[in-house]
Structure 1
C-alpha cells in the first residue's frame, strides 16, 4: 500500500525539478535579453531631443495670493519658481535602456534631469491643488489637477481628487475623460489608478 504514495512522491519531485529548471531557463533567457539590449543601447550615438514632449509650467493656472499662510504652499511656489527656464519632460514608464536606444547614451544625464524636473513640478502642483481644494477653492484647484492628468502623471492623488470632484458635481462626461486618461498612464501605477477612477459610488 506504500508504493502508490512513494510513486506519487517521486512524480512530485520530478515535476518540481522540471518547474524549477524551467523557471531558471526563463530567468537566464530574460537576463541574456536584457544585457543584449543594454549592450546595443550603449552603442547608440547621441540623437536630437527636439521631438520630446516638453511640459510648460502653467503659470496662468497657479494662484499666488491664496493660502500663502501655509508653509507647504510657499514651498511649492518656490519649487515652481526654481524650475523656471528648465526643461521638463515626463518619462514615466520608460527605462534607461530604452532611453539610450532612442536618444543615445550621452543624453541619459540631461534626460534624467528633465524627468526629475517633471517630478518636482507635478509634486508641487498637486500640493497646491490639494490645499486649494481642501480650503474651498475647487475652482482654482481643478484646472491644476486636470493639467497634471493631461501631462500623463502617475501620481494617484490627481485622479482620486478629480474623481471625487466630478462625482460631487455630477459630471459623467468629465469622469469618462478621467477614465480614458487613466488608461493611457505609463508605468507600474496604471492598474492602481484605473481602479481608483472606476471605484463604484458608495
Structure 2
C-alpha cells in the first residue's frame, strides 16, 4: 500500500512539473511572439533613409579571368557576372527583414531584398565559375574567382574547400592560413566542417 501511494505521489509530482514546464514554455513563446510583432509594426512605420553609402559590392571586371572559350558553362557564368556588374549588390545575410526595415525604412526594403538576392546569385555563380575553371585545369583563373568570392564573404563551403585544395596543390601554406581565418567568419552551418578541412590541409 505504501509503495502504491509512493508511486501515485511521484507520478503526480512529475505531472505537476510537466504542466509547469509547459506553461513556462508557452509563456516564453507568447512573449517572443509579442516582441517580434511589436518590432515588426514599429519597423513598418520607419521612414525611408539614405542608403547611398551602404557597402555595395563592386565586381572587379578588369581582374577577373574573362575569356573567349568553347565551354558553354563558363560562357554562361561569365555572362551572369557581367550582368550583375551593372547592378547593386549587398550582403545582408546577417540581418533580418525587421532589422532592415528598422535601420533603413520600410520603403527601402524591396530594393534591399533585390540587392541581397543578386548577392546570392553572385556568390553562387562565382562558385560555379571557379569550379568550371578548376575542372578545365585553369587553376590560376579558378583561384582568382574564388578569392573574390571569399572577399565577398560567401557562405558557400565549397568555395573555401576548393580554394584550399588549389592552395594545397602549390604548397601555399600561408594562403591556406589566411583562408582559414576567413572561414572563421563564415555565417554557415558548415563553418566548423570547413575549418576542420582547411586545418587538415595544413597537416599534409
Alignment TM-score > 0.5, same fold: yes
Match of 1:147 in 2: 148
**1:182 and 2:180 correspond:** no
* Closer/same/farther in 2, CA of residues 6 and 147 from structure 1, 3 Å limit: same
Match of 1:7 in 2: 9
Question: For residues 41 and 148 of structure 2, what CA distance do their matches in structure 1 show?
Answer: 38
Match of 2:190 in 1: 192
Query: Is the 1:163–1:197 contact (alpha carbons within 8 Å) kept by the matching residues of 2?
Result: no
Superposed, 1:64-143 pairs within 5 Å as: 64-65=66-67, 68-143=69-144
Question: For residues 85 and 65 of structure 1, what CA distance do their matches in structure 2 show?
Answer: 19
Match of 1:33 in 2: 35
Q: CA deviation at 1:11?
A: 1.6
Gaps of 5+ in 1: none
Match of 1:63 in 2: 65
* Closer/same/farther in 2, CA of residues 141 and 61 from structure 1, 3 Å limit: farther
Question: For residues 192 and 11 of structure 1, what CA distance do their matches in structure 2 show?
Answer: 42
Question: For residues 58 and 128 of structure 1, what CA distance do their matches in structure 2 show?
Answer: 15
Question: For residues 163 and 11 of structure 1, what CA distance do their matches in structure 2 show?
Answer: 57
Query: Is the 2:90–2:115 contact (alpha carbons within 8 Å) kept by the matching residues of 1?
Result: yes
Spell out, residue by residue over 1:43-96, the C-alpha distance to the aligned partner (whole angstroms, 9 max, x if none).
Answer: 111111122111111212333326x33332122122122223211111112111
Q: CA deviation at 1:198?
A: 2.2
Q: TM-score, normalised by structure 1?
A: 0.89
CA RMSD in angstroms, aligned pairs only: 1.9
Secondary structure of the structure 1 residue equivalent to 2:123: helix
Question: For residues 90 and 56 of structure 1, what CA distance do their matches in structure 2 show?
Answer: 12
Q: CA deviation at 1:28?
A: 0.9
Q: CA deviation at 1:139?
A: 1.0
Gaps of 5+ in 2: none
Question: For residues 167 and 4 of structure 1, what CA distance do their matches in structure 2 show?
Answer: 66
Aligned length in residues: 198
Query: Is the 1:179–1:194 contact (alpha carbons within 8 Å) kept by the matching residues of 2?
Result: no
Question: For residues 31 and 174 of structure 2, what CA distance do their matches in structure 1 show?
Answer: 46
Greater Rg over alpha carbons, structure: 2
Greater RCO, 1 or 2 (C-alpha within 8 Å, sep 6+): 1
